[in-house]
Structure 1
Amino acid sequence: MSHNHSHSVTSYNRAFMISVALNTTFVIIEAVYGIIANSLALLADAGHNLSDVLGLLLAWGASLLAQRQPSTRYTFGLRRSSILAAFANAVFLFIVSGGVGWEAIQRFRDPAPVEGDTVIIVAAIGIAINTISALMFLSGRERDLNIRGAFLHLAADAGVSLGVVLAGIAIVLTGQQRFDPATSLIVTIVIVVSTWQLFRDALSLMTDAVPAGIEPLAVRTYLLERPGVTGVHDLHIWAMSTTETALMAHLVIPNGHPGDAFLAEIYHDLHENFSIEHATIQIELGDSGQPCALAPENVV
């Protein structure tokens, strides 16, 4: 078997550090003024921002673990920790949204007076902080599920804070206190919607599904079209982390091993055409007297 390693890890340490600091400060400010103004919308948004701080810390820690070198026990290193972090992040946000939604329903039954002016000012600060934080993760959102999760949550927070500003304005203009829990329900819906795709993607990677953007049939066709190849089996494509994809396959070449240059070309093409960084190829002659036990499609 041969291996090809081409691991590129983009560092977002500075972005994580700044975002965590900004959002932690804002959570404290928002919670204090949420209590002073008796605003569930502010407290709900503070809870959501707190979950984002924890999520950012989780993603940050996972990105650092993913850079650790392989060991005799962890032969792939700790790259998969980034997938686990993305999944945990999504589950945590679902739990938070459930709590916020339940409290909002209770407030609909018994609305409490809210200081609209305070709500507007504090939430406006939230728009600025979350927008700045989200922009720091903008460039990496397409390549890394962890970074995408951070970007989506922060961008959603900016939108939620805008909703809270509008609720504050509505309360000031109309005096209707139910705008506050109504906004809280909108917060809940935004959290669930923005988190659902992250949850699905993370769950897929955890269960070794082929990463999104890679068509297994196209990979199989490419391998079958290599000179001398008459069959492909035991083909598996899975994610080692939120940024790295691995492949293993058996190629049947009756004329014998074509040489290292043949494999090097395959590894290069898999990387360039399918973004597969780690490939393991086994060459077989297709000897009917010694059939490969992994040849049947239903055998793993």
Structure 2
Amino acid sequence: MAIILNSIFVVVEFAYGFIAHSTALMADAGHNLSDVLGLGLAWGAAILAQRKPDSRYTYGLRSTSMLAALFNAMLLMLACGAIAWEAVQQLLHPSPVAGATVSVVAAIGIAVNGISAWLFMAGSKDDLNIRAAYLHLAADAATSLGVLLAGLAVIYTGWNWLDPAASIVIVAMIMLGTWALLRDSLRMMLAAVPDNVDAPKVEQFLRGSAGVSGVHDLHIWSMSTTETALTAHLVMPAGYPGDLAIDAIGTQLRERFSIQHSTLQVELGTTEHACALHA
């Protein structure tokens, strides 16, 4: 529904922006187009993430959700750059702006993007991919609000420079929010420990487990925008404690640290081991 609404609005907004000589309106239409592409990426990634693991992709295609979040952040940055460029050109070469037309179309944009953002708001806290789509739509709603205010100001003051000036201010606000999304998605793609997982506490928990005298080769990373994986070697001099004990550790990792997929290797500690990555 959000994709259909925004696709229709992109065409309408760009057409009226061209008619009204509003750079802000046309730039906003371009930003809306990036939303449509971003929503398409998020939707496609959500479908691909459901694919079951196979001999080729042993984790399935869960990581496509992280790719979609990264591409969405990059699309937002590109859209911001395009809006800023057009705004600067309009400031350097101003032209009359039809403030009334701009205001009406921008008001419609607030409604369309506001409704679309609301549809994604519930899942935006726990899923970076959904958060990316939500930020796209929320940013567009904010952009439309700025365009609306600029249009009204142009009507009452006749200051055409307010149209591109509003675009520049909005771009700065959007980029502040997008930077965090870009940073988080890049960290996920580089297999960093997720922000919601405290690695030292995880290691402390493993070391404190019954029979464990040491922990090494501990790795924690994101499998997707909602799932975390862990691998670790547990030194247990008394030997393998049985499936129930290992299952209990896995359950604690899932419930206490939101680590859904853990792989634990038990060692007696009779030989020297060290992580090859630290060699």
Whether these two folds match at TM > 0.5 is: yes
Equivalent-residue separation in structure 2 for 1:297 and 1:19 (angstroms): 45
Q: Residue 239 of structure 1 corresponds to which residue in structure 2?
A: 222
Match of 2:237 among 248, 251, 254: 254
Letter in 2 for 1:298: H
Match of 2:196 among 194, 209, 213: 213
Match of 2:112 among 129, 138, 150: 129
Q: Residue 13 of structure 1 corresponds to which residue in structure 2?
A: none
Unaligned runs of 5+ in 1: 1-17
User: How many equivalent residue pairs?
Assistant: 279
Structure of higher RCO (CA pairs closer than 8 Å, 6+ residues apart): 1
1:223 aligns with 2:206: yes
Match of 2:73 among 62, 87, 90: 90
Partners of 1:244 and 1:276 within 8 A in 2 = yes
Equivalent-residue separation in structure 2 for 1:130 and 1:263 (angstroms): 48
Aligned Cα root-mean-square deviation (Å) = 1.1
Letter in 1 for 2:266: I
Match of 2:170 among 177, 187, 191: 187
TM-score under structure 1 normalisation? 0.91
Partners of 1:45 and 1:187 within 8 A in 2 = no
1:140 aligns with 2:86: no
Equivalent-residue separation in structure 2 for 1:51 and 1:186 (angstroms): 19
1:170 aligns with 2:150: no
Equivalent-residue separation in structure 2 for 1:21 and 1:266 (angstroms): 46
Match of 2:249 among 239, 242, 266: 266
Q: Deviations over 1:140-196 (max 9, x none)?
A: 111110101111221121111111110000000000000111112123213312211
Q: Displacement, 1:100?
A: 1.5
Equivalent-residue separation in structure 1 for 2:259 and 2:105 (angstroms): 46
Q: Displacement, 1:198?
A: 0.6
Partners of 2:142 and 2:170 within 8 A in 1 = no
Q: Deviations over 1:77-120 (max 9, x none)?
A: 11111111111111122122112111211111111101000011
Match of 2:97 among 98, 102, 114: 114
Larger displacement relative to structure 2 (274-283 or 81-90) = 81-90
Q: Deviations over 1:21-64 (max 9, x none)?
A: 11111111101110111101110110001101100001111111
Unaligned runs of 5+ in 2: none
Query: Identity of aligned pairs, percent?
Result: 54
1:285 aligns with 2:273: no
Letter in 1 for 2:59: F
Partners of 1:104 and 1:182 within 8 A in 2 = yes
Letter in 2 for 1:46: A
Aligned-partner SS, 1:122: helix
TM-score under structure 2 normalisation? 0.97
Aligned-partner SS, 1:210: coil
Partners of 1:104 and 1:181 within 8 A in 2 = yes
Equivalent-residue separation in structure 2 for 1:206 and 1:37 (angstroms): 43
Partners of 1:133 and 1:154 within 8 A in 2 = yes
